[in-house]
Amino acid sequence: MANNKITPLQNMKSQLEKLASKTFSGKYLVPSLWIKPGEELHDGKPPQQVHPGEFYLAHIEAIEKLQIPGVDPLRSLNSQIPGGNGGNWISAESIFNIFVRLTAAYDHDGDGVLGGNRKELTLNNSGVRESGTFLKAIAMLGYVKALGCTTIHLLPVTAIGHDGNKGELGSPYAIRNPYRIEESLADPLLAMDVEEQFTAFIEACHMLGIRVIAEFVFRTASKDSDWIAEHPEWFYWIDEKIADRKVGETDLEVAAKHYGNPIFTAEELAAINDKIKCGDLNELPPPHAAYRNFFKLPPAREAVKFNDEHQFRGEGTDVPTGKSVRVRIPGAFADWPPDDNQPPWGDVTYLRMYVDENQSQPEFNYIAYNTIRMYDNRLARPELANKELWQTIIDLIPYYQQKFAIDGVMVDMGHAVPVSLMQQLIARARAVDPDFAFLSENFEIKQDSVDAGYNAVVGYAWWVEYRRDGMYDLLNHIGNQGVPLPFFGAVENHNTPRAAQRDGGELYSKYAFLVNTMLPLAVPFIHSGQELGEIIPVNTGLDFSNTDLERLKGCKLALFDLCGYKWDGSHPMLEFMRRVLQLRRQYSAVVTRYDRDSFCMVQTGQADVICFIRRGDGQHVMILFNRDFANELTGDVSLEWCLHTDCHSLDNLLADVGSSSGFPVENQKLVYRLQPGECCFFAWPD
2 has pLDDT over 70: no
- What are the respective helix, strand and coil percentages of the chain, to the nearest 5? 30, 20, 50
Structure confidence by residue, pLDDT tens digits, 480-510 = 999 999 999 999 999 999 999 999 999 999 9
pLDDT at 166: 86
pLDDT at 499: 97
In whole angstroms, how far apart are CA 486 and each of 92, 123, 331, 445? Answer: 10, 41, 34, 8
State the pLDDT at residue 397: 98
| pLDDT exceeds 60 at position 637 | yes
pLDDT confidence tier of residue 257, bands split at 50, 70 and 90: very high
| 255 pLDDT tier (thresholds 50, 70, 90) | confident
Is the pLDDT reported for residue 261 higher than 80?
yes
What are 236-254's pLDDT values in tens digits? 999 999 999 988 787 888 8
For 442, phi then psi, to 5°, come to -115, 130
Question: What Cα–Cα distance (Å) separates residue 135 from each residue in 61, 274, 427, 458?
Answer: 14, 51, 33, 28
Q: Looking at residue 460, what is its pLDDT?
A: 97
Burial grade of 417 (CB within 10 A; 0-12, 13-18, 19 or more): buried
Q: What pLDDT digit, counting tens, does each position of 43-98 carry?
A: 999 999 999 999 999 999 999 999 999 999 999 999 999 888 999 999 999 999 99
Mean pLDDT of 339-351: 88
Show the CA angle centred on residue 213, arms to residues 231 and 200, nearest 5°: 90
**Is pLDDT above 60 for 265?**
yes
CB-based burial of residue 459 (10 Å sphere; 0-12 exposed, 13-18 middle, 19+ buried)? buried
Q: pLDDT category, 345, cuts 50, 70, 90?
A: confident
Give the per-residue pLDDT at 4: 72
Residue 248 has what pLDDT?
A: 77
| Short-list 74, 77, 101, CA closest to 11 | 74
Bridging pattern class, strands 48-49 and 487-489: unpaired
The full set of domains in the chain, from first to last, is: 8-219+390-586 (3.20.20.80), 226-350+352-385 (no CATH), 595-685 (2.60.40.1180)
> Mean pLDDT over all residues of the chain?
95
Q: What is the per-residue pLDDT across 385-415, written as a single tens digit (0 to 9) for each?
A: 999 999 999 999 999 999 999 999 999 988 8
The yes-or-no verdict on residue 296 having pLDDT over 90 is yes
Residue 1, pLDDT score: 43
Per the CB < 8 A criterion, the answer to whether 601 and 565 are in contact is no
Cα separation, 617 vs 189, whole angstroms: 52
Asked if the peptide bond before residue 298 counts as cis, ω within 30 degrees of 0, the response is no
pLDDT above 70 for 657:
no
Calculated CA dihedral for residues 141, 142, 147, 149, nearest 10 degrees: 40
Residue 60 contacts residue 410 (beta carbons within 8 Å): no
Enumerate the H helices of 162-304 as residue ranges.
194-207, 226-230, 252-256, 266-277, 289-292
Q: What is the pLDDT of residue 416?
A: 87
Strand partners for 456: 439
What is the structure's pLDDT at 3?
56
Percent of the chain with pLDDT over 90: 90
pLDDT at 333: 93
What are the pLDDT digits (tens) for 511-535? Answer: 999 999 999 999 999 999 999 999 9
Lowest mean pLDDT among 247-251, 283-287, 427-431, 437-441: 247-251
What confidence score (pLDDT) does residue 60 get? 98
The count of residues in the chain is 686
Q: Is the confidence at residue 343, as pLDDT, over 80? A: no
Q: What is the pLDDT of residues 137-161, one digit of tens each?
A: 999 999 999 999 999 999 999 999 9
Residue 340 — very low, low, confident or very high, per pLDDT cuts 50/70/90? confident
Helix H or strand E encompassing 393? helix 387-394
Q: Tell me the pLDDT tens digit for each residue of 85-138.
A: 999 999 999 999 999 999 999 999 999 999 989 999 999 999 999 999 999 999
Classify each residue of 185-219 as buried b or exposed e, where b means 16 or more C-beta atoms within 10 Å of its C-beta: bbbebbebebbbbbbbbbbbbbbbbbbbbbbbbbb
